[in-house]
Amino acid sequence: MRSGLTAAAFAAVLFSFAICGLAAPQRTLSAVENRELAAPPALSAKAVFSGRFAEDLDKYLLDHFPLRDAWAGLAGAADFAMGRKDNGRVYFGADGWLFAMDSIDFGLLDANLGHIRDFIGAVSEEYPDVAFSALPVPASWSVARDMLPAFAPAGDEDAAMSRIGEALEGFARVCDPGEDLEDAFRAGTQVYYRTDHHWTTRGAYIAYRAWAERCGLTPSPESDFAVRVVSDAFYGVNASKAGLPWTVPDRMEAFERKDAPPLRMTVESAKDGGETRVSDGLYAPEFLAERDKYAYFLGGNNAVVTIDTGLANGRTLLLLKDSFAHCFAPFLTAHFERVILVDPRYHRDGLARFFRENDITDLLFLYSAVQLSNDRNLFYLKLAV
């Protein structure tokens, strides 16, 4: 009898929290985790009978659970105190390193590589002079693997990087910066943030040098840049997922070209009804006061960003990318008259207009291998939709 009452009371508490979550003002974005939160599921007979409605409802309720961030932090601290190597979302690595518990979906990776090859083929047929290159980005747990806890079952990214290279070889010049990043890391250079999944600006610079040499470009030496610390209080996504109150923040740097001509950045927002903003620089200092400090680079995730660099060499680069490109883009301004960054996660209208309105000479795919193996938006990667 008593156990039945306890179970009923526990169920009532959970039900009350769920109702509170449904009644509370709904957020669409988690500033702590820097991601979009699940939307209310659409009710239909097909969704109900397939089980998709229940799955989506579960995700929605979890994302909008009252005091979710505080509960996650408490749970993370408890997991760490009990000596666990992870909390189900991040690995607790050595020396304060936190690693996302990513997985590689090889079936989806192969499908996405097929979409990329089909797109390159379509572009080559209509614009045969465009030069193609690809820069897959290894995960932090692949480069700094010595910092992983013992026996952590990290994804097989080596196989994923090899599959990317094999699939795109012959279609594009593929640059795998993994060895350069690993060498720099072993030499004491922090090439990834300890609290985030992104590479540091210095890591991006190392990858840029490898990519430029692979593409026959002369990379700008580090002496061409003024390196500036813009924040020493950056807590990344992995820190938010870990919820450990003693986490030491990362330092963020910006590499700014010395004596560069004036440039202009035009942003087509992924939000606000596609609002367009124009600025005279590549950085958004207002985000340094926010939780999502990484949005300092290019103003965060947007559908389209166009950079007019002030050069006059007749070269225009179309960069199809995820957020790893944001601190990479400034290095491209030494080589191209215009750089157009398109994020397929937010832009689904086809890419024909970019070729019609610009004399595209180069095309670069810059994606993290993890994102490339989990992204369901590359289906829209077409000249016209």
Using the Cα atoms of residue 176, residue 174, residue 219 and residue 203 in order, give the sign of their dihedral.
Answer: negative
111 assigned to some structural domain? yes
Same domain, 56 and 102: no
Evaluate if residue 381 carries a pLDDT over 70. yes
Same domain, 45 and 154: no
pLDDT score recorded for residue 153: 74
Higher pLDDT, 153 or 13: 153
pLDDT bucket at 8, cuts 50 / 70 / 90: low
Same domain, 55 and 109: no
16 assigned to some structural domain? yes
pLDDT score recorded for residue 263: 94
For residues 4-22, average pLDDT: 54
44 assigned to some structural domain? yes
Evaluate if residue 272 carries a pLDDT over 70. no
Evaluate if residue 214 carries a pLDDT over 90. yes
From 18, 47, 66, the end of a domain falls on 66
Same domain, 143 and 224: yes
pLDDT by residue (tens digit) across 79-122? 555 557 888 889 999 999 999 999 899 999 999 999 999 999 99
For residues 180-191, average pLDDT: 97
Evaluate if residue 14 carries a pLDDT over 60. no
Same domain, 189 and 310: yes
pLDDT score recorded for residue 88: 87
pLDDT bucket at 74, cuts 50 / 70 / 90: low
Evaluate if residue 287 carries a pLDDT over 60. yes
| Strand ranges, E, within 203-297 | 225-234, 250-257, 264-268, 276-279
For residues 272-298, average pLDDT: 90
In the structure encoding, which two tokens stand for residue 136, read together? Answer: 């897959």
In this structure, of 53-67, 71-85, 221-235, 296-310, the range with the lowest mean pLDDT score is 71-85
- Quick count: other Cβ atoms within 10 Å of Cβ 255? 19
Evaluate if residue 78 carries a pLDDT over 90. no
Number of domains in the chain: 2
Same domain, 42 and 121: no
pLDDT score recorded for residue 349: 85
In the structure encoding, which two tokens stand for residue 21, read together? Answer: 């979550």
Percent of the chain with pLDDT over 90: 67
Evaluate if residue 7 carries a pLDDT over 60. no
pLDDT by residue (tens digit) across 309-341? 999 999 999 999 999 999 999 999 999 999 999
71 assigned to some structural domain? no
**In this structure, are residues 93 and 150 in contact, taking their beta carbons and an 8 Å threshold?**
no
Mean pLDDT computed over every residue of the chain: 87
**In this structure, are residues 307 and 257 in contact, taking their beta carbons and an 8 Å threshold?**
no
List phi, psi (to 5°) of 245: -65, -15
Q: Which of 242, 257, 270 is nearest to 311 (CA)?
A: 257
Same domain, 191 and 52: no
pLDDT score recorded for residue 25: 60
User: Domain limits at 292?
Assistant: 98-380
For residues 222-237, average pLDDT: 96
Same domain, 250 and 345: yes
Same domain, 208 and 323: yes
In the structure encoding, which two tokens stand for residue 195, read together? Answer: 């609290």
pLDDT score recorded for residue 273: 62
Q: Which of 285, 226, 299 is nearest to 256 (CA)?
A: 226
Same domain, 291 and 180: yes
pLDDT score recorded for residue 62: 60
CA atoms of 142 and 144, how far apart (whole Å): 6
231 assigned to some structural domain? yes
Same domain, 288 and 239: yes
pLDDT bucket at 42, cuts 50 / 70 / 90: confident
For residues 254-269, average pLDDT: 92
pLDDT score recorded for residue 152: 84
73 assigned to some structural domain? no
pLDDT bucket at 172, cuts 50 / 70 / 90: very high
CA atoms of 85 and 91, how far apart (whole Å): 6
pLDDT score recorded for residue 59: 66
pLDDT score recorded for residue 26: 61
Q: How far, CA to CA in Å, does 83 sit from each of 6, 141, 325?
A: 30, 20, 36
85 assigned to some structural domain? no
74 assigned to some structural domain? no
Higher pLDDT, 14 or 320: 320
Same domain, 137 and 277: yes
From 49, 66, 83, the end of a domain falls on 66
pLDDT score recorded for residue 340: 98
- The full DSSP string for 145-213 is GGGSPTT-----HHHHHHHHHHHHBTTBEE---HHHHHHHHHTT---B-SSSSSBPHHHHHHHHHHHHH
